[in-house]
Amino acid sequence: MSSSANWGQTPFIAADRPGGRALDWLRRNPTIVAGSSILVFFVMVALFAPWIAGDPLGFDPLYRLKRPSAEFWFGTDQLGRDVFSRVVYGTRISLIVGISVAAIATVIGLLIGVLCGYYQRVDEIVMRVMDGMMAIPAILLAIALITLMKASLIIVIVAISIPEIPRVVRLVRSVVLTVRGLPYIEAAVSTGTRGLRIMSRHILPSTVAPLIVQATYVCSAAVLTEAGLSFLGAGTPPEIPSWGNVIATGRAYFQLAPWIIFFPGLMLALAVLAINLVGDGLRDSLDPRIARRL
């Protein structure tokens, strides 16, 4: 496994190096530090939501469409609900959706991709199916899946994950195809190593670095898609305060109360920016060759 051509062997995976070098690595990658700091902030907000904000569902008609003030930092909506509380609780939904979709799409995509890259017969059929899925615009595919089932957070997560899978499959497959032809795989085959072992011990490690990068992009795309779907009225059930749902309620009152849209919109942009910064940083530092591939 000491082949220099194996580009899975990147500094990031070498977790056994001393802590001092880890700090050094962070210093050389300010975008990762900036992005993950913002993400830590959002995770904190999500975890401690009940201590930070009041009831996101509580409404008071006396306080309809109030401007942002000391009492209501982000103003109130048309039912007199506190936009700040709703945005704070919305962080939970966005993070859950982003992380779950990234995990589901990556794991399933990895399995299919490795099988396709390794077994040519599976490859032909599966890749045609993937081509077809990629031809359907992601948001339309998600909308179609959601409208057919009773809307729930789990359905939304599944519906956003499915269109992301083909992209992961293609990436994994291309890595597997590259690695397959390398001498050390040939050596493993010639010494009688079985297919499953070659895949898990010799091929899978090479997919880790590009997959981590891809997962961050899937995550940010998922957060945006969830908000977009909710905004269109085809996403998370309206009674759950997600950023997209808060923005959707603000649509009809935009001229009177633009804050209902601006604050959750800004949080959304900030979260997506943070995830992308981590992704860009990882891409540039893990391996310059991935940078060209993605």
Partner 1 sequence: MTAYILKRLLATIPVMAVVALFVFLLLHLSPGDPAAIIAGDEATPAAIESIRQKLGLDRPIWEQFGIYVANLLRGDLGTSIFSNLPVLTLVKQRLEPTVVLAVCTLLVAVTFAVPMGVLAAWKARTAIDRVIMGFSVLGFAVPVFLIGYLLIWLFAIELRWLPVQGYRPLAEGVGQTARSIVLPAFALGMVYMALIARMTRASMLEVLSEDYIRTARAKGATTTAMLLHHALRNAAVPIVTVIGIGLTLLISGVVITETVFNIPGLGRLTVDAILKRDYPIIQGLIILFAMVKVLLNLMIDISYVFFDPRIRY
Interface residue list for partner 1 (CB under 8 A): 128-129, 131-133, 135-141, 143-145, 147-149, 220, 224-225, 227-228, 231-234, 247, 251, 254-255, 258, 261-262, 265-266, 268-270, 272-273, 276-277, 280
Q: Return the bridge partners of 76, or none.
A: 82
The least distance separating partner 1 from the CB of residue 191, rounded to whole angstroms, comes to 39
> Cβ closer to partner 1: 177 or 270?
270
Task: Collapse the DSSP code of 76 into the 3-class scheme (helix H, G, I; strand E, B; otherwise coil) and give the result.
Answer: strand
Block residue for tokens 């009225």: 233
State the CB neighbour count (10 A cutoff) for residue 190. 8
Q: Shortest Cβ distance from residue 154 to partner 1 (Å)?
A: 13
Length of the chain: 294
Min dist CB 170 to partner 1, Å, is 14
Given the complex with partner 1, which of 206 and 245 has the nearer CB atom?
Answer: 245
Give whichever of 240 and 274 is closer to partner 1, judged by the CB atom: 274
In whole angstroms, how close is the CB of 65 to partner 1 at the nearest point?
16
> Minimum distance between the CB of residue 23 and partner 1, rounded to whole angstroms?
25
**Judged by CB, which is closer to partner 1: 17, or 289?**
289
Helix (H, G, I), strand (E, B) or coil at 255: coil
Q: Is 82 helix (H, G, I), strand (E, B) or coil?
A: strand
Contact 227, 94 (CB under 8 A): yes
Residue 104 vs 277, nearer CB to partner 1? 277
Residue 250 is encoded by which pair of tokens? 């603000």
Q: How far is the CB of 213 from partner 1 (least distance, A)?
A: 15
User: Which of helix, strand or coil describes residue 18?
Assistant: coil
First to last CA, the chain: 25
- Measured distance CA(217)–CA(35) in Å, rounded: 13
Nearer to partner 1, 112 or 204 (CB): 112
**Contact of 236 with 244, CB cutoff 8 Å:** yes
Looking at the Cβ atoms of 204 and 227, the one nearer to partner 1 is 227
Q: What angle do CA 152, 236, 61 make, to 5 degrees?
A: 115
Distance in Å, CB of 20 to partner 1, minimum: 29
**C-alpha 189: how far from chain center:** 36
